[in-house]
Amino acid sequence: MNTAAMYTTGVMGQSHAHESAKAQVLGAAPYLDDLAELRGTLYAAPILSTVAHGTLHGLDCTDALAMPGVHGVVLAADIPGDPILAAFGHDEPIFALDKVWHVGQVMGLVVADSVMAARRAARKVKADITPLPAVLDTATAIAQQSFVLPPVHVRRGDADAGLARAPHRLQGTLEVGGQEHFYLEGQIAYVIPQEQNQWLVHSSTQHPGEVQEWVAHALGIGAHAVTVQCRRMGGGFGGKETQAGHLAVWAALAARKFGCPIKLRLDRDDDFMVTGKRHPFSYEWDVGFDDQGQITGLKLQMAAHCGFSADLSGPVADRAIFHADNAYFLSDVSITSYRCKLNTQSHTAFRGFGGPQGVIVIETIMGDIARMLGLDALAVRQRNYYDADVQSGRATTHYQMVVEDNILRPITQKLELSAHYQQRLAAISAWNAENSILQRGIALTPVKFGISFTATLFNQAGALVHVYTDGTVQVNHGGTEMGQGLNTKVAQIVADELGVPLAQVQVTASDTSKVPNASATAASSGTDLNGRAAQYAAQKVRSNLAAFVAGLDHCGAGAVGFSGGKIHSPNGSRDFKAVVKEAYANRIQLWSDGFYRTPKIHYDKTTLTGRPFYYFAYGVACTEVAIDTLTGESKVLAIDVLYDAGKSINPAIDIGQVEGGFVQGMGWLTTEQLVWNDKGVLTTHAPSTYKIPATGDIPAHFQVQLYQEPNREDNVGGSKAVGEPPFMLAISVYEALRHAIASARDQQGKTGVVQLQAPATAEHVLQALLH
Amino acid sequence: MSPRPLHFLRRGQRVTLHDVPPDRTLLEVLREDLHCTGTKEGCGEGDCGACTVVIGERVQDTDGPAQLRYKAINSCIRLAHSIDGMALWTVEDLTQDPHLHLPAGKDLHPVQESLLQCHGTQCGFCTPGFVMSMFGMYQNHAGGSQLDRQGAQEALSGNLCRCTGYRPILEAARHMATLPPATVDAPAVLQKLELLALEKQAPEAQSSYQRPSSLRELLQLRAEHPQAQVVAGCTDVGLWVTKQHRRFDMVLDVTAAAELQTITHAEGQLRIGAAATLEAAFTALHSHWPQLHSFAARFAGLPVRNSGTLGGNVANGSPIGDSMPLLIALNAQVVLASVRGERRLPLEQLYTGYRQNVIAQDELLVRIDVPVPPLSSGTTQHLRAYKVSKRQDDDISAVCLVMHLQVSEGIVTHASVGAGGVAATPARAVQTEAAMRGQPWTAATAHSAGRTLQAEFSPISDMRASGDYRKHLLGSLMQRFWLESQGQVGVSLQDIRVEVSA
């Protein structure tokens, strides 16, 4: 483990425990459902469609209303504002209006005096629906031109010419499944009416500002009448970016109708049925390459299964395009992206946000090329890497961004050596030749991930730093804490800026009345944006104090330093606390705001060209697996990861993000299978049927190291983002499985590419072995 | 009918709750009635472990002193009344129980301290459940020192975490044993539990939650209240409450009847009381057939095995329950009892259709008898239990196949095969057995038996697997069985280990 303090001069760089860790292990860290409830609180439960597509004629609530404890129902007619959510595409009704679009769509609420009474009654509501034909696969959607947004084409060079001149060609297809977020804390909102048509919303959300906007929109009031708070989430992973807003709107409508606090907590099965997931993707490609495996031309079609509405599907599918290169220079490429409308839940943000769906297809192509040519897959990958020399002509992405901070080769070489990739590759070949029932596989795959919201406007953040007269510090910023350690890192940044011990800094709940118009905590950008904003706020307070001390000591403000809980000048040191007290007495401002916007970024939304990302984060993973050729079962045997966190603000937290992201990605590609039946019903809607990784899936050898090089761009503390990129390192699991499958197929004399559908369940591995 | 008051011991005090409905869950009581919100609901079906708490029961073996037995359980699907008379610890209690002595100068229990030091929390929502599963390990395995990584992993397989990737949690489970210890004052707790038992008034005939302490009372109540919902560990019935919203006016809980808890070995039989927990039952089976260890460890997560009972699994009769294929292959018999008397029948004859059985309205499944005959000399026994599922641990079988052969002088003298996930009920593969019996045990016989096995069932397709895949597995698992019966190693993923030098 690499948690040793590397930067020992301050609080930053040290592996401080998560700010809530002690409260969490004591069971004393309250989540939304744990907050003390106000007198008169009622509970809501959703009424769900059981039909995938149909005309909704009406709801018969008679039986539900007769149930004990039921206070009433909330239906579309109860919406005072716009009955369509203020979402991205303005295409989602708050409650189903004249149509239902998927099984699990919310048609209204039952309100009762207990959670279970509301849930029981909600199932007694009878919906009068005339079924219509449902679109349940992307091929049908494309054939019928059923899209939530128009197709997007991105080109660079001449893909046809690149294919025509290629000595080798491969065509392929790939199906990659979606993924349920499975945040341990399900979706929940608690809305409390305030005086004069004002509303306090407790929401488990990654985006309080959007919850505020949506609730105001639905209630037909100004945003200034709605306050949204979130102290912590029990996991988010993108699933509480837009999805949390729906619950808050529903609860607010009920609170308005019944004039009392309303809590809406989804049962886990309902959460699966109602909320969107990671987009499943289908791909078709035609790739040309030379004898060494270098790609000369690529035509790629990506079809995103978006569900019934746009939600964030546009930017998700865009990011898939932006990451279809991953680490590789594609000279002549043409990408077509379809955003397919299907009668299912509306798929949404999920860690990586389309990036994984872009990276996996090019990694699959790399593996196929290597096998077709009989070359080592790592060699083929490296042959296609972007060149570190920006003048080389091989350092510009297909969307015209120059890769200036390329560390692909050194980081790959380092892991190749430390994980003994070559020796193990040889050992595995020898072992496989001696065995037939079991086969092993290994893969070392890279990730290059663009950091910034692709929607440029979201790359801004605000923060407040308050120094109280006793010298303690309170920080508030626009980000949200979902377990990723954002508040811990922000506190570390502020503590170092003011030169005070970490214990002196407290970060408080996200609150739209403190920092307004904050972006979602998403796109791995939480610390980059909010940490910087908080640093700027702290710097303003610090400069006020420095000027004050400079006045006392007749020196320049630049000569005043802050460290170890003391303020130093050429004349000596004073306690921070004492200076604060004295500064207050001299009417010096001890609090400030800070605002940050990411520099350098811009891009043209119509052609998807420009510089959408401030910088790239890199990582490499080497994974070894074994498969059982009798049953298709598999096992991950060893994982080695080297991740580029820049100058890590908190190595323990960063390693935790890398490990957690990797395992989540491994789940996406192995055990986590979403199954919709031919009626459009999601039949995997609980942990009994939907299997995220458990303790037994983690190999004893799981080694994560951080690559020690500061961010080459000016980012807070020299750090790099860590939330999403490690997720895609798990593609090494998938590629290692394909390596093992290829070995088994070779033994059996089978030819052709390894067609492995993701997730690589035992059944899918067996199909790949047998086809 | 109303339930009698519910009593349990918590933080050294007796907790008494009145008017708790018979179908109220322990988690609802904790969070909604007692406002103890440290324990979380993650799924409401016993699959994620966020709601894990630890119960302490006073147990007395014949002659020995009374002992405190600790079990981590899922509070979300456990009916509250089922813990009547027990001690309860939730995450909040580890630092608030006067009978739990923390190391000097510490304000955290070692399991909590260990998770903190190892950075084992991120969002923290699963943490209370992990803390309590680890507390169970701490009490049952000498502060965790008796568990290796594999043991820790198995003990925590019923707790899901979506943030950490588990590495730091598994590390914490090992690290806790190195910290200054915390101790439970077991004699004090036992004394209070004894008092609780003594104070408990005689069963109220009209209570809506009945948990009689003898088989005689149990059968009498069963006869009097045929409409009552029978429960044991609640690991399935709990879901009828939380997910299907069923209500029970009256509950008959079989778990306190002493006769149903005992496991004895007599007359060449392992006699397992129907209310013995899955953990206890599998431990007993495993002691006779050590090769069953990994199969047993894969049966749900530990909190479910600690609550769920072997009799419950058998009586429930789910076609994808894992104990029945094993018991069929072991030629187990079930004993059904009523006030009219007892009858016994081969386990597979219990089932008449999908979740339908021959148990009469006044009858209860009271015991499972597993023959453990001594092997005659010159006979080799081959027993293997196979399970294929999407996830290794805590998952439901796509196919479960248990093969049990005796081979004497190269000839199959006995064959029994139990299969799950391939029919509407757990099933005995009668034709396959016949195809092997009396045959030489050769690759050809195994191959042909695999074909028979595949022809014998027509499995369905569902979200766990396609019918074709299930059918394929029947053949390939038979092949693996043949290879393993020949002593071949390197044919199972469990055998494979990899060393990566640092």
Give the count of Cβ contacts less than 8 A between chain A and B: 274
Residues in chain A with CB shorter than 8 Å from the CB of B163 are 235, 483, 656, 660
Q: Which amino acid is at A309?
A: S
Q: Evaluate whether residue A399 is within a structural domain.
A: yes
Tell me how many degrees the CA angle B125-B129-B135 measures, rounded to the nearest 5. 140
How many other C-beta atoms lie within 10 A of the C-beta of residue B413? 16
Q: Which of A256, A274, A292 is the last residue of a domain?
A: A274
Q: Evaluate whether residue A691 is within a structural domain.
A: yes
Q: How far is B48 from chain A (nearest CA, A)?
A: 7
User: How would you classify the pairing of strands A333-341 and A295-307?
Assistant: parallel
As a whole number of Å, the end-to-end CA separation of chain B is 67
Residues in chain A with CB shorter than 8 Å from the CB of B33 are none
Decide if B312 contacts B233 (C-beta within 8 A): yes
How far is the C-alpha of B329 from the C-alpha of B420, rounded, in Å?
A: 11
Q: Supply the CATH number for residue A480's domain.
A: 3.30.365.10
DSSP B307: H
Q: Evaluate whether residue A633 is within a structural domain.
A: yes
Q: Evaluate whether residue A156 is within a structural domain.
A: no
> A691 with A650, same domain?
yes
Q: Which of A597, A627, A643 is the last residue of a domain?
A: A597
CA distances (Å), B110 to each of A25, A425, B101, B126, B131, in order? 11, 42, 11, 18, 10
Within 8 A by CB and 6+ apart from B298, the residues are: B322, B387, B389, B392, B393, B394, B395
As a whole number of Å, the end-to-end CA separation of chain A is 42
Helix (H, G, I), strand (E, B) or coil at A764: helix
HEC string for B48-91: CCCCEEEEEEEEECCCCCEEEEEEEEECCCCEHHHHCCCEEECH
Q: Which amino acid is at A181?
A: H
Decide if A91 contacts A141 (C-beta within 8 A): no
How far is the C-alpha of B387 from the C-alpha of B464, rounded, in Å?
A: 13
Confirm whether A37 is a catalytic residue: no
Q: How far is A687 from chain B (nearest CA, A)?
A: 6
> A438 with A471, same domain?
no
Q: Evaluate whether residue A20 is within a structural domain.
A: no
> A114 with A227, same domain?
yes
Which residues pair with residue B27 across a beta bridge? none
Q: Which of A555, A572, A597 is the last residue of a domain?
A: A597
> A409 with A331, same domain?
yes
Q: Is B251 left (phi over 0), alpha (psi -120 to 50) or beta?
A: beta
Can you list the domains of chain B with their CATH numbers? 6-95+189-256 (3.10.20.30), 100-184 (1.10.150.120), 259-485 (3.30.390.50)
B122 closest CB neighbour out of A483, A638, A677? A483
DSSP A528: I
Residue A360's Cβ-side half-sphere holds a number of Cα atoms within 13 Å equal to: 34
Decide if A111 contacts A73 (C-beta within 8 A): yes
What ranges make up the beta strands (E) of A39-122? 42-48, 54-60, 70-74, 99-100, 106-112
* A694 contacts B40? CB cut-off 8 A: no
* A688 contacts B112? CB cut-off 8 A: no
* B38 contacts A698? CB cut-off 8 A: no
Instruction: Return the pLDDT at A87.
Output: 84
Within 8 A by CB and 6+ apart from A374, the residues are: none
Residue B260's Cβ-side half-sphere holds a number of Cα atoms within 13 Å equal to: 31
Domain with A567 in it: 460-597
Q: Is A164 left (phi over 0), alpha (psi -120 to 50) or beta?
A: alpha
Query: For residue B21, what are its two tokens?
Result: 């409905």
Q: Evaluate whether residue A13 is within a structural domain.
A: no
User: How would you classify the pairing of strands A615-628 and A634-643?
Assistant: antiparallel
How far is the C-alpha of A687 from the C-alpha of A186, rounded, in Å?
A: 12
How far is the C-alpha of A701 from the C-alpha of B238, rounded, in Å?
A: 38
Which residues pair with residue A603 across a beta bridge? A610
B45 closest CB neighbour out of A686, A691, A701? A686
Query: One of A19, A185, A724, A735 is an active-site residue; which one?
Result: A724
> A214 with A255, same domain?
yes
> A492 with A576, same domain?
yes
How far is the C-alpha of A37 from the C-alpha of B221, rounded, in Å?
A: 41
A25 closest CB neighbour out of B127, B465, B472? B127
Helix (H, G, I), strand (E, B) or coil at A131: strand
Q: How far is A586 from chain B (nearest CA, A)?
A: 41
How far is the C-alpha of A646 from the C-alpha of B488, rounded, in Å?
A: 49
Helix (H, G, I), strand (E, B) or coil at A645: coil
> A566 with A637, same domain?
no
Q: How far is A496 from chain B (nearest CA, A)?
A: 22
The low-confidence residues of chain A, meaning pLDDT below 50, are 1-8
Closest by Cα among B297, B44, B401 to A686: B44
> A214 with A330, same domain?
no
Most B CBs within 10 Å, among A14, A20, A25, to test the B interface:
A25
CA distances (Å), B233 to each of A213, B238, B253, in order? 47, 9, 9
Query: For residue A645, what are its two tokens?
Result: 């966190």
Residues in chain A with CB shorter than 8 Å from the CB of B473 are 631
Burial of B290 (0-12, 13-18, 19+ CB in 10 A): exposed
Decide if A87 contacts A126 (C-beta within 8 A): no
Closest by Cα among B240, B54, B235, B52 to B160: B52
Closest by Cα among B325, B311, B307, B327 to B397: B325
How far is the C-alpha of A191 from the C-alpha of A228, rounded, in Å?
A: 9
* Helix ranges (DSSP H) in A569-717: 576-585, 651-669
Residue in chain A closest to B48 (alpha carbons) equals A687
Q: How many domains does chain A have?
A: 3
> A344 with A370, same domain?
yes
Q: Evaluate whether residue A634 is within a structural domain.
A: yes
Q: How far is A43 from chain B (nearest CA, A)?
A: 13
> A65 with A201, same domain?
yes
Most A CBs within 10 Å, among B27, B76, B125, B171, to test the A interface:
B125
Within 8 A by CB and 6+ apart from A571, the residues are: A553, A555
Instruction: Return the pLDDT at B494.
Output: 85
Dihedrals phi, psi of B160, to nearest 5 degrees: -100, 140
Largest Cα–Cα separation, chain B: 70
Average pLDDT over chain B, rounded to an integer? 95
Q: Evaluate whether residue A18 is within a structural domain.
A: no
- ipTM for the predicted complex comes to 0.97
CA distances (Å), A370 to each of A50, A748, B297, in order? 47, 19, 40
Average pLDDT, 10 consecutive residues per value, chain B (502 residues): 90 96 97 98 98 95 88 98 97 98 97 98 98 98 92 96 98 97 98 90 77 96 96 96 96 96 94 98 95 93 97 94 96 98 97 95 97 89 96 95 97 97 96 98 98 97 97 98 92 81 58
> A72 with A210, same domain?
yes
Residues in chain B with CB shorter than 8 Å from the CB of A34 are 37-38
Residues in chain B with CB shorter than 8 Å from the CB of A656 are 119, 122, 163-165, 168
> A322 with A434, same domain?
yes
Residues in chain A with CB shorter than 8 Å from the CB of B131 are 25, 27
Please write the tens of the pLDDT for every residue from B12-28.
999 999 999 999 999 99
Q: Which amino acid is at A187?
A: Q
Instruction: Return the pLDDT at B60.
Output: 84
CA distances (Å), B8 to each of A23, A240, B14, B54, B197, in order? 26, 39, 6, 13, 10
Closest by Cα among A180, A153, A136, A89 to A340: A136
B90 closest CB neighbour out of A27, A267, A631? A27
* A234 contacts B496? CB cut-off 8 A: no
